Structure formats: C-alpha cells, structure tokens
C-alpha cells in the first residue's frame, strides 16, 4: 500500500520537494543578510536616539519582505488542502477508480487511513520545514520588532503552520469526499480555509487565554511612541501602543482616548489637537498634537497578553487545529463507508 500511495502521490511530492528547496535557498540567503544588517544595527546602537533611529531603519528594510513571506507561508496550507487534500478521494470517485481499490482485501477505512497518513506526513514535513526556516531567518528582526503576536507573523512561525497544514489537508479530504468532484472540492477548500485563516486570528485567538487589563496614561512621550493617531472617521483613537516594561506584549484591544473621569474624548477636542494644536516646537512623531493631547490628562484602557504567554498561545492554537483536523478525519472515515 505504501508503494501504491507513492505512485499516486509522487508528482505532488516532487513538486512539494522542489518548492521547499527553493524556499530553503532563499530563506538561508535572507537569514544571513538579516543577521549582517542586525550586526550593523547593534554597532550603531550606542545611545538611545541613535539606537531608535537604527532600529527604525533596520525594521523598515525587512518589514515588507517578511510580511510577504509570512503570508506566503500561510498560503502553503491552502495549497496543501486544495491540491493535496481535495483530490485525494474526489479524484478516485470522479474517475471511478475507487471501485477497483475498494474491491480488494483492504477495507475502505484502512485504505483512507493509509492515504491520509502518507500525504499528511508529507504536509507536516513541507509546512514544518518552511516554518522552521522562516522562524530562523526572521529571528533577529522579531527580536527588534517585538511583534511576535502579529496577526500574520504568529501563524507563520514555529509550530502553528503545522497545525494549519494538517487542518487544511483534513478539510480538503473531507470536502472532496462529500462533493465527489475534484475542481469544486478544490475551490471550496480554498475559500473555506482562507476564511478560517481570517477568523481564527481575529475572533478566536484573543480569547484562548484570559487577558490582562490596565490603563495607559497618554503622555506626550507615549503618544509619540504610537504607530497611528486618529482614523478616517475622526474618532479619538490611537494605535500601535506598547505596555510600559513589556514592549513585546500583545495588546488585543484598545479603548478610545478617555478623559480622567472615564468618558470618551470628544471628537471636536481631538480634531482640534490634531488639526490646529498650539505651536510649541515639540519634536517626535506627532509633535505639537502629542503635547496638546497630553495636556488633556487622557488615558486608554487596554487588554493585553504578556509576552511570556507566546508559547502557550502557539500550543493552544496548534492544538485547536489538530482537534478540528481529527474531527474532520473522523467525519471522512465515517463517510467513506457509505461513499
């Protein structure tokens, strides 16, 4: 049965191996380049001002590249589900070759278990090695950026991609068994799993562990350290804050700017500070606007996850994917008896 599985899967396996070799070659090159740039950044980090400027330049040089690679790595799971999982049984049913296979001495369930184990192992190898290489290449950048909980970054580092790949593969196999047509099964698998990749980081991940809560005073320094101020609707919001003493903590929810009595800052006062602040000659990202807002004695309420929970989230989310994959596999094994 192993030989039969290999003959049926060899083209996909060769394509996966070739793709992995190309990914490995590029990530090895990128990892060395990032380490050289990181050494140069550290050599310039002799005083707080110079260190901050060097950090901004270092992150800016690799941010878009690593985001693109992280998104691409997550698409590997979609490809595994659509091109490896969906055709696994659907092609047999569509071509009618299942009649020959299922009339042999091997039971349908044993045949499906063997096929899913063989291809599933290949999915683990491809996704796991790609994730390992990206995690290694991006390690110096992640240390400086302190954004391991980022929506895209988290799902492309360490063990989470393995869980994604196995869930996508089980989803594709089950959909293929239910739909019984290869192309529709591939399309449905791709759409459903992309929806899962959007829903889990935004709707599920923040609730895997109870969050910590605190209030952050909005001094001029704190405001200047933020990444954005305001929104297209004019709401008094601020984004990209950091918890003092824990710059790599994950802030999962941030309230609007609030006054000392807990009320949301009025839009008119917020826009006045943004558009026509008193001229003070202050520097920083937001300059006079930051000084104007700081004078209003504002704060924001935040919910956050301490950085030491990172591996707890990795294990919890990966475990969630594995449980869902196991449930889908059970559905497929039950369904194949009546196919």
What are the pLDDT digits (tens) for 66-102? 999 999 998 999 999 999 999 988 887 776 665 556 5
Q: How far is CA 215 from the centre of its chain?
A: 27
For the segment 153-186, what is each residue's pLDDT rounded down to a tens digit?
Answer: 999 999 999 999 999 999 999 999 999 899 999 9
Query: What distances in angstroms separate CA 149 from CA 29, 135, 247, one per listed residue?
Result: 25, 13, 12
Q: Report whether 259 contacts 265 (CB < 8 A).
A: yes
- Higher-scoring residue by pLDDT: 209, 106: 209
Measure the CA angle with vertex 310, ends 305 and 313; round to 5°: 85
C-alpha 326/C-alpha 320 separation (Å) is: 10
Measure the CA angle with vertex 307, ends 303 and 309; round to 5°: 90
In 122-249, DSSP assigns E strands to 212-217, 228-229, 238-239
C-alpha 337/C-alpha 326 separation (Å) is: 17
- Above 90 in pLDDT, residue 127? yes
For the segment 294-315, what is each residue's pLDDT rounded down to a tens digit?
Answer: 999 999 999 999 988 999 999 9
Q: What is the mean pLDDT of the chain?
A: 87
Residue keyed to tokens 């594709």: 172
Helix axes 2-44, 48-79, angle to 10 degrees: 170
Question: What pTM was computed for the model?
Answer: 0.84
What pLDDT shows up at residue 256? 92
26-30, 46-50, 249-253: which has the minimum mean pLDDT? 46-50
- Above 80 in pLDDT, residue 284? no
For the segment 221-238, what is each residue's pLDDT rounded down to a tens digit?
Answer: 888 888 888 877 778 998
Name every residue whose Cβ is closer than 8 Å to that of residue 198 and which is 6 or more positions away in sequence.
Answer: none
How many C-beta atoms lie closer than 10 Å to residue 244's C-beta? 12
What pLDDT shows up at residue 9? 63
C-alpha 131/C-alpha 156 separation (Å) is: 6
Segment 181-207 shows an average pLDDT of 92
For the segment 223-281, what is each residue's pLDDT rounded down to a tens digit?
Answer: 888 888 887 777 899 888 888 877 788 988 899 999 999 899 988 888 888 888 888 87
Q: Give the model's confidence band at 320: pLDDT under 50 very low, under 70 low, under 90 confident, else very high.
A: very high
């Amino acid at each position: 049965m192993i030989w039969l599985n290999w003959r049926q899967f060899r083209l996909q396996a060769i394509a996966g191996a070739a793709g992995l070799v190309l990914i490995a070659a590029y990530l090895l090159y990128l990892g060395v380049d990032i380490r050289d740039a990181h050494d140069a950044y550290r050599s310039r980090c002799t005083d707080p001002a110079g260190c901050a400027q060097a950090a901004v330049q270092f992150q800016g040089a690799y941010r878009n590249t690593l985001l693109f690679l992280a998104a691409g790595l997550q698409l590997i799971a979609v490809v595994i589900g659509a091109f490896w999982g969906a055709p696994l049984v659907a092609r047999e049913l569509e071509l009618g070759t299942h009649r020959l296979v299922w009339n042999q001495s091997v039971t349908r369930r044993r045949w499906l278990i063997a096929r899913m184990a063989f291809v599933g192992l290949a999915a683990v190898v491809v996704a796991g090695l790609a994730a390992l290489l990206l995690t290694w290449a991006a390690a110096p950048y992640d240390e400086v950026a302190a954004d391991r909980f980022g929506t895209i970054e988290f799902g492309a580092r360490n063990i989470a991609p393995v869980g994604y790949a196995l869930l996508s593969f089980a989803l594709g196999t089950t959909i293929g068994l239910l739909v019984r047509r290869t192309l529709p099964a591939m399309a449905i698998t791709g759409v459903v799993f992309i929806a899962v990749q959007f829903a889990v980081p935004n709707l599920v991940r923040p609730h895997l562990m109870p969050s910590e809560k605190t209030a952050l005073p909005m001094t001029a320094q704190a405001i200047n350290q933020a990444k954005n101020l305001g929104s297209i609707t004019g709401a008094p919001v601020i984004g990209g804050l950091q918890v003092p003493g824990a710059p790599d903590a994950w802030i999962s929810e941030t309230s609007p700017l609030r006054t000392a009595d807990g009320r949301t800052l009025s839009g008119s006062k917020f826009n006045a500070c943004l558009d026509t602040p008193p001229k003070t000659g202050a520097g920083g990202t937001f300059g006079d606007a930051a000084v104007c807002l700081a004078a209003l004695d504002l704060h924001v309420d935040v919910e956050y996850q301490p950085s030491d929970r990172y591996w707890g989230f990795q294990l919890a989310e990966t475990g969630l994917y594995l449980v869902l994959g196991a449930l889908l596999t059970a559905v497929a094994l039950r369904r194949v008896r009546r196919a």
